[in-house]
Structure 1
Amino acid sequence: MTKPLTLRHGDKSQAVQQLQWALNAAGAKLVPDGDFGDATEKAVRAYQLKVGLVADGVAGEKTLGALAGADCSRLLSNATLVAAAKRLGTDLATVYAVNEVESNGAGFLANGKPKILFERHVMHARLCLVRSEGDDSAALIARADKLAAEQPNLVNRAPGGYAGGTAEHQRLANARYIDTLAANESASWGAFQIMGYHAERLGYDSVDEFITLMHQDENQQFEAFVRYIEADAALLKALKAKKWAEFAKRYNGPAYARNLYDVKLERAYERHAGCGCGGQMKVAA
Structure 2
Amino acid sequence: MTQLLRHGARSQAVLQLQKALNQRGATLYPDGDFGDETEKAVRAFQRKAGLVDDGIAGPKTLAALAGADCARLLGHAQLRASAQRLGVELATVYAVNEVESLGEGFLANGKPKILYERHVMHRLLATPRHAGDDAAALQAHAEQLARLYPNLVNPRPGGYAVGTAEHARLASARLLDALCADESASWGAFQIMGYHWQALGYASLADFTARMAANEAEQFEAFVRYIESDPALHKALKGKKWAQFAKAYNGPAYARNLYDVKLERAYQRHANCHCNKEAA
Question: TM over 0.5: same fold?
Answer: yes
Q: 1:1-285 counterparts in 2 under 5 A?
A: 3-280=1-278
TM-score between both structures, scaled by the size of structure 2: 0.98
Residue segments in structure 1 that go unaligned for 5+ positions in a row? none
Structure 2 CA distance for aligned equivalents of residues 16 and 162 of structure 1: 34
Instruction: Give yes or no for contact 1:82–1:281 (8 Å, CA) kept in 2.
Output: no
- Alpha carbon RMSD of aligned pairs, Å? 1.0
Q: CA deviation at 1:122?
A: 0.4
Matching residue's letter, 1:267 = R
Matching residue's letter, 2:83 = A
Instruction: Give yes or no for contact 1:115–1:191 (8 Å, CA) kept in 2.
Output: yes
Q: CA deviation at 1:24?
A: 0.9
Structure 2 CA distance for aligned equivalents of residues 253 and 243 of structure 1: 15
Matching residue's letter, 2:160 = Y
Q: CA deviation at 1:4?
A: 2.0
Q: CA deviation at 1:220?
A: 0.2
Q: CA deviation at 1:280?
A: 1.5
**SS of residue paired to 1:55:** coil
Q: CA deviation at 1:277?
A: 2.4
CA offsets 1:186-223 (integer angstroms, 9 cap, x no match):
00000001000000100001111000000000000000
Q: CA deviation at 1:279?
A: 2.3
Instruction: Give yes or no for contact 2:89–2:279 (8 Å, CA) kept in 1.
Output: no
Structure 2 CA distance for aligned equivalents of residues 272 and 38 of structure 1: 13
Instruction: Give yes or no for contact 1:191–1:221 (8 Å, CA) kept in 2.
Output: yes
Residue segments in structure 2 that go unaligned for 5+ positions in a row? none
CA offsets 1:61-110 (integer angstroms, 9 cap, x no match):
11011001111111111100000110010111100100000001110001
Equivalenced residues, count: 280
Q: CA deviation at 1:281?
A: 7.0
CA offsets 1:147-183 (integer angstroms, 9 cap, x no match):
1011110001111111121111111111111111000
> Structure 1 residues 70 and 281 mapped into 2: Cα distance closer, same or farther (>3 Å)?
farther
TM-score between both structures, scaled by the size of structure 1: 0.96
Instruction: Give yes or no for contact 1:130–1:136 (8 Å, CA) kept in 2.
Output: yes
Instruction: Give yes or no for contact 2:114–2:187 (8 Å, CA) kept in 1.
Output: yes
Identity across matched positions, percent = 69
Q: CA deviation at 1:272?
A: 0.8
Matching residue's letter, 1:101 = V
Moved more, 215-224 or 12-21: 12-21
**SS of residue paired to 2:186:** strand
Structure 2 CA distance for aligned equivalents of residues 259 and 197 of structure 1: 25
Matching residue's letter, 1:193 = Q
**SS of residue paired to 1:202:** coil
**SS of residue paired to 1:188:** strand
